Structure 1
Amino acid sequence: MTGNVIRDFRGDTDGDWVVARHAALYARDEGFDASFGELVRQIVTDFTNAHDPACEHGWIAEREGTRAGSIFCVRQTADLAKLRLFLVEPEARGTGLAQGLLATCMGFARDAGYKGMTLWTHESHVAAGRLYARTGFTLERSVPARSFGVDVVEQHWQIAL
């Protein structure tokens, strides 16, 4: 991963970037409306204001000194972590950055004592689904839904740690 760095999320400087990039990329690629950015803003705000650093953490990936991705591990239950806000900029895809972010997040979850990890995504994220499957996640269910102004198929994945 030459030129790639994974560092701790800094809420005071990284939060707005996480929100803006999620909102922009999902609007462009998925047709999501502004409610998606509002959801991301709420997740980032809640994390920044009230996360428990012993069992919750966020990371920013940088490529050649520029932000290129994000991932968060938050508590779902005492034994189950939830992966959130996983994003890799299009120009950084295929560089190993996504695998590095996922491995960092899962390693933290194991070290924090979680027994498993869950995540929610959409069927349209084919490359992410392949990464999850390669890593050992199992697709638990797919559910058609209307979210963020568009029809989607929500996917729920899980892995034992």
Structure 2
Amino acid sequence: MQFTLRPFTAADADWLVAQHADHYAQVEGFDDSFGPLVAGIIQDFLSDADPRTEAGWIAQADGVRLGSMFCVRINAQTGKLRLFYVVDQARGMGVAQALLDQCLRFARSVGYAQLTLWTHESHVAAGRIYRRNGFERVAAKPVHSFGCDLVEETWQITL
């Protein structure tokens, strides 16, 4: 499958919220508190993102959205990877790696010394791609979030 990466726009917001909410409800049993969290992250990005240090991308093929990733600023030295998502039918086709490569290039180009991210231990495929690309899991803690018992993880990479 041939796909391209393009900048995230406001027109992608509803799709991205729905994808996250639906996928994690079906796969992980997340309750309806997860969609509003994603919507808030997107709204903050649309309202406050500084294009010099923050960006979002959508992977697509033939006008069909396949995935997303964002890089946002924590501080002058640290960026945060957010909203990494690939639709089921595009998994295993290089979409995730292309999005991650784009995010890492961007983070380096704007001068971040490190990139961090938050995820859950149950996202095994994501953990594999993070580890394969040099990220290290630096923290993990059991929580009850989105109606589920989960293990939150923090990963980071030195750029």
CA distance in 2, matches of 1:64, 1:122: 31
CA distance in 2, matches of 1:115, 1:17: 32
Q: Normalized against structure 1, the TM-score is what?
A: 0.97
CA distance in 2, matches of 1:15, 1:52: 18
List 4+ stretches of structure 1 deviating above 6 A. none
1:150 paired to 2:148: yes
Note the 1:32-43 alignment, pairs <5 A. 32-43=30-41
Unaligned runs of 5+ in 1: none
Aligned partner of residue 33 in structure 2, secondary structure: helix
Note the 1:67-86 alignment, pairs <5 A. 67-86=65-84
User: In the alignment, which residue of structure 2 is the partner of 1:101?
Assistant: 99
- Residue 65 of structure 1: CA displacement? 2.7
CA distance in 1, matches of 2:131, 2:62: 28
The aligned amino acid for 1:5 is T
> Does the 8 Å CA contact 1:63/1:92 hold for their aligned counterparts?
no
CA distance in 2, matches of 1:106, 1:34: 31
Aligned partner of residue 116 in structure 2, secondary structure: strand
User: In the alignment, which residue of structure 2 is the partner of 1:119?
Assistant: 117
CA distance in 1, matches of 2:38, 2:44: 10
> Does the 8 Å CA contact 1:8/1:59 hold for their aligned counterparts?
yes
Q: Normalized against structure 2, the TM-score is what?
A: 0.98
Aligned partner of residue 34 in structure 1, secondary structure: coil
Count the aligned residue pairs: 159
CA distance in 1, matches of 2:71, 2:141: 23
CA distance in 2, matches of 1:103, 1:51: 20
> Does the 8 Å CA contact 1:8/1:60 hold for their aligned counterparts?
yes
1:3 paired to 2:2: yes
> Does the 8 Å CA contact 1:71/1:105 hold for their aligned counterparts?
yes
1:41-72 CA-partner distances (Å, limit 9, x unpaired): 00000100111000000000113431010000
Unaligned runs of 5+ in 2: none
Q: 1:16 aligns with which of 8, 14, 17?
A: 14
CA RMSD of the aligned region, Å?
0.8
CA distance in 2, matches of 1:63, 1:36: 27
User: In the alignment, which residue of structure 2 is the partner of 1:45?
Assistant: 43
